[in-house]
Structure 1
Amino acid sequence: MSTVIRVGTRGSALAMAQTKAIAARIGSAAKAEIEIVSVTTHGDTSRESLATIGGTGVFASALRESLLAGECDIIVHSLKDLPTAGYPGLRLAATPKRADARDTLCSRDGHTLDTLPEGARIGTGSPRRIAQLRKRRPDLEILDIRGNIDSRLARVSDELDADDPQRLDAILLAAAGLGRLGKLDHVSEYLDLSGWPTAPGQGALAIEVREDGVGEPLDRAVRAALETVNHGTTAATTLAERLVLAGLEAGCSAPVAAMAEVDSELLFLTATVYSLDGERSLTSSHAATPEGHGAEHLADAARDVASRVVEELLGNGAADLAVLKGKP
């Protein structure tokens, strides 16, 4: 009888696409069959804005409960949707190599963000993106939208009449999601990270397991397989970004951007906190040198640089700039 690893994920097309790609690598490394377990989360069923329903954990809680209940052996998250606080009985076991972390503009008629006409209607469900839009293009009409990638792209298609209230001139979407679904042909502009930083963990995935494992001999096979898909640099840089959120006591939907990278043996971290109206922002940048080679030294550098970034942001009034505390 063959070994089967049950992989839990959200049921959206994007979640399925990214999970199946990682699950195939895990199955190959563990020499096991893969069973995909689809789990419906509160974030999938609610049509309210992320800010209204809390943002933090709305896509993760049902997955985690399914894992704890033994309905699956591992679960796959989009890292930017994963709360920074640990979950009793679970641990983060692997962070695969990050995809493109940039945001993209998908617009009617091939416009860029700067060439969109005054008063153009642009949609996004992210408070961070809304704040950035208000800061850069206060003349645009911004609509808070929800829905999967296909339903959002449909709102900038030529199939909608000019007077249709669903019609938009542009939307903002993550490059990673479009890439995983093979829809990068819809992109009219990639927004550079230096001028348009994105959410902590954007473009990365996270794999969680139960702390007590899944039982032998599957446990050893799963652990070994997860080691093969874990990417040390991605784990360290996303740790630094997420520690900014944790230090600011900010939820996943707070107007906070953070981007870390490893270059020339230094770990660089830049984080920005926006006011919700986009009129003000605070930015902090620091770097740290790992004291040696290996994952633990990179993780120590991530903790060091994040603590200094958080201290500077809070010292400069970040807590008064935006509503940072997310709902549990």
Structure 2
Amino acid sequence: MKLRLGTRGSTLARTQSGMVADALVEHAASVGVELEVELVEITTHGDISRGSLVGLSEVGVFVNALRDALLAGECDFAVHSLKDMPTAPHPELELAAISKRADVRDALCTTGPGLRDLPEGARIGTGSPRRAAQLISLRRDLRVEGLRGNVDTRLGKLSGELDGVVLAAAGLERLGRLDEATELLDPTDMMPAPGQGALAIEIAPGADDAWADLIRALDHAPTRAAVTAERSLLGVLDAGCAAPVAAYATVAGERLSLRARVVDAGGTLALNETAQGPASEAASLGRSTGWTLLGRGAGRLMGRA
């Protein structure tokens, strides 16, 4: 049996898709199915645009082209970084599996000093308003500058243009480059984006259960519960990557703990909220936490009246 996996063309995307492909082939072999997976490279708007992507990830700038390819029959399934996906499910596609989450932390990469040892007025690059706002809340003197591009491009800015850049630890780890991180930032200080560190696998409509069930078997239930809570909160706040919203849920046994944070763009004001409940009620727990934040004024912190 041969399946086609739709992936973005970046090194990180192909690496992540390759990891999913390897896991799928291994699982198939364990149940006596011989499977081959071909990577099909799909170019997305986010890959070719040179402008700022702030405000675009919330409408799926890295996701829509892959979904279009699925619907057009160009591939059988696709792998996404979950944090890039819109919170609303696609009406025609199935989110068949969410793989076990990797490290949720953000990684600070510098030429040597950690966050608290950087010189006054240090220039830090990031394309994320969430990271920018939390960095400024930790160090009011930092100069946070916009940044995009692949990992090599971003790390290349350390050659003199910037004093530091912030990247997802999960991406560096998957690329075998985690040793290039100077400091892994504590989630208490730098809370991650909803869904950060998780990979999502979508399958085409009418998928044959003979192979779709193999993909569904890759689902990691504790990760799905945790990210469901985080993304349900994000959906209530009606916020994408353009808003400094962070959330982090963990699952222990049948219990889920959720922490959430909304920060104003200047990093001067923050709302924090925590909640606990059954992991089976992850979506409702996330939604109720989102409504609590809105009731406390989260809309104003996100720049809405």
Q: Give the aligned CA root-mean-square deviation in angstroms.
A: 1.6
Q: Percent identity?
A: 49
Task: Supply the distance in 2 between the matched residues of 1:143 and 1:125 (Cα, whole angstroms).
Answer: 8
- 1:27 to partner: Cα distance: 2.5
Q: Aligned residue for 1:71?
A: 74
Partner of 1:303: helix, strand, or coil?
Answer: helix
Of 199, 205, 208, 1:211 maps to 205
Partner of 2:96: helix, strand, or coil?
Answer: strand
Letter of the aligned partner of 1:187 in structure 2?
A: A
Q: Aligned residue for 2:10?
A: 12
- 1:55 to partner: Cα distance: 4.4
Q: Aligned residue for 2:172?
A: 178
- The question of whether the paired residues in 2 share the 8 Å contact of 1:121 and 1:141 is answered with yes
> 88-97 vs 50-59, which deviates more?
50-59
Partner of 2:190: helix, strand, or coil?
Answer: coil
- The question of whether the paired residues in 1 share the 8 Å contact of 2:102 and 2:170 is answered with yes
Q: TM-score, normalised by structure 1?
A: 0.88
Q: Aligned residue for 2:269?
A: 280
Q: C-alpha offsets along residues 23-67 of structure 1, whole Å, 9 cap, x if unaligned? A: 112123332111100011111111222215454300000000000
Letter of the aligned partner of 1:209 in structure 2?
A: I
Partner of 1:225: helix, strand, or coil?
Answer: helix
Q: C-alpha offsets along residues 86-113 of structure 1, whole Å, 9 cap, x if unaligned? A: 22311211000000000010001x2111
Task: Supply the distance in 1 between the matched residues of 2:56 and 2:257 (Cα, whole angstroms).
Answer: 33
Q: Aligned residue for 1:294?
A: none
- Structure 1 runs of 4+ off > 2 angstroms? 27-31, 52-56, 220-224
- The question of whether the paired residues in 2 share the 8 Å contact of 1:288 and 1:304 is answered with no
Of 289, 292, 297, 1:309 maps to 289
Q: Aligned residue for 1:47?
A: 50
Q: Aligned residue for 2:131?
A: 129
Aligned residues: 300
Distance 1:208 1:323, change over 3 A: farther
> 170-179 vs 315-324, which deviates more?
315-324
- 1:153 aligns to 2:155 (yes or no): yes
Structure 2: gaps spanning 5 or more residues = 29-33
Of 32, 35, 45, 1:32 maps to 35
- 1:197 aligns to 2:191 (yes or no): yes
Distance 1:41 1:244, change over 3 A: same
Task: Supply the distance in 1 between the matched residues of 2:275 and 2:183 (Cα, whole angstroms).
Answer: 29
- The question of whether the paired residues in 2 share the 8 Å contact of 1:249 and 1:324 is answered with no
Of 184, 188, 204, 2:182 maps to 188
Letter of the aligned partner of 1:16 in structure 2?
A: R
- The question of whether the paired residues in 1 share the 8 Å contact of 2:8 and 2:43 is answered with yes
Letter of the aligned partner of 2:217 in structure 1?
A: T
Q: TM-score, normalised by structure 2?
A: 0.94
Q: Aligned residue for 2:31?
A: none
Structure 1: gaps spanning 5 or more residues = 214-218, 290-297
